[in-house]
């Protein structure tokens, strides 16, 4: 079963008399445990597409299924619940909560959407911090760790709920070359370990060189390119 299926997916924004077709009837599917990127110039519709997949912005028309559920017509409350249970997010600017420790940042999604007993929750958070190489940093605050460490924490937070889909919007844009490579390698390792699908919106050739499939967006239309990157997995 595909993790994402889109059929004739369309997003139109209307402001007064101005109508902008951000996404124009695109069709695509994304398989489990894959590494996929959406690329294209600014304004091509990458973020719009990611926002629709992430239940942040409803489509204007068409069908969109994520992890087996049609999400096209979810109301705001159901969309929030679905997002919390099934989708992890990694952002360009990390989006960690400054007043929470590293441990508390990773624990936050579990407190929001899942009634895990406290002991089980704490075990899961520690397991994820260990997995991303941050097991001994849980008591620090975001201001006390580097950009690369923040992005590691963000990856742990994205996966802590057992999300089968992680949406990563320019996750390496604020990182230097060496750190970006480390973060990409970490996400590949997490994909292999947890069979999670990673979908990137990016300009970064370092990510594009590591994905198996690239969808190129231009003027709201989509072109699919297979690549030899990423190697076998599963």
Q: What is the pLDDT of residues 170-205, one digit of tens each?
A: 999 989 999 999 999 999 999 999 999 999 999 899
C-alpha–C-alpha distance, residues 134 and 186, integer Å? 12
Cα of 127 vs its chain's centroid, Å: 20
Angle (deg, nearest 10), helices 118-131 and 102-113: 130
Answer whether residue 90 shows pLDDT above 80: yes
C-alpha–C-alpha distance, residues 159 and 51, integer Å? 18
| Per-residue pLDDT reduced to its tens digit, 113-143 | 667 788 999 999 999 999 999 999 999 999 9
Give, for 182, the enclosing helix (H) or strand (E): helix 177-194
Residue given tokens 């990611």 in the structure block: 50
Q: What are the DSSP E strand ranges found in the chain?
A: 4-15, 18-30, 35-39, 61-66, 69-70, 87-91, 165-169, 197-201, 213-218, 221-226
C-alpha–C-alpha distance, residues 100 and 152, integer Å? 16
Question: In the prediction, which pLDDT does 221 show?
Answer: 93
Answer whether residue 145 shows pLDDT above 70: yes
In this prediction, what percent of the chain has a pLDDT beyond 70? 96
| Interval 4-12 mean pLDDT | 97
CA dist list (Å): 31 to 96, 149, 153, 188: 29, 29, 26, 15
Answer whether residue 231 shows pLDDT above 80: no
Question: In the prediction, which pLDDT does 203 show?
Answer: 86
| Per-residue pLDDT reduced to its tens digit, 22-51 | 999 999 999 999 999 999 988 888 989 999
| Interval 211-223 mean pLDDT | 93
Q: Which domains are seen in the chain, by residue range?
A: 32-59+75-226 (3.40.50.300)
Answer whether residue 161 shows pLDDT above 80: yes
Reported confidence tier of residue 55, pLDDT bands at 50, 70, 90: very high
Between these two residues, 1 and 196, which has the higher pLDDT value?
Answer: 196
Calculate the average pLDDT of the chain. Answer: 92
Q: Does the model's pTM come out above 0.85?
A: yes
Reported confidence tier of residue 53, pLDDT bands at 50, 70, 90: very high
């Amino acid at each position: 079963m595909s993790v994402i299926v889109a059929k004739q997916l369309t997003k139109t924004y209307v402001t007064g008399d101005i109508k902008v077709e951000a996404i124009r009837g695109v069709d695509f599917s994304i398989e489990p445990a894959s590494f996929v990127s959406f690329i294209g110039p600014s304004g091509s519709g990458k973020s719009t597409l990611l926002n629709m997949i992430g239940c942040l912005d409803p489509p204007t028309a068409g069908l969109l299924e994520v992890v087996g559920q049609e999400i096209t017509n979810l109301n705001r409350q159901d969309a929030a619940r679905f997002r919390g249970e099934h989708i992890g997010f990694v952002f360009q600017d990390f989006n960690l909560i400054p007043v929470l420790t590293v441990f508390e940042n990773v624990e936050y999604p579990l407190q929001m959407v899942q009634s895990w007993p406290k002991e089980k929750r704490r075990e899961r958070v520690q397991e994820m911090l260990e997995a991303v190489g941050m097991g001994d940093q849980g008591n620090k605050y975001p201001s006390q760790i580097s950009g690369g460490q923040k992005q590691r924490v963000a990856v742990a937070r994205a996966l802590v709920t057992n999300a089968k889909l992680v949406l990563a919007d320019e996750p390496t844009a604020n990182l230097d070359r060496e750190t970006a490579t480390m973060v990409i390698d970490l996400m590949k390792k997490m994909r292999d370990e947890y069979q999670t699908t990673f979908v990137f919106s990016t300009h970064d050739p370092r990510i594009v060189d590591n994905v198996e499939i690239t969808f190129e967006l231009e003027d709201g239309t989509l072109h699919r390119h297979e690549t030899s990157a990423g190697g076998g997995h599963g």
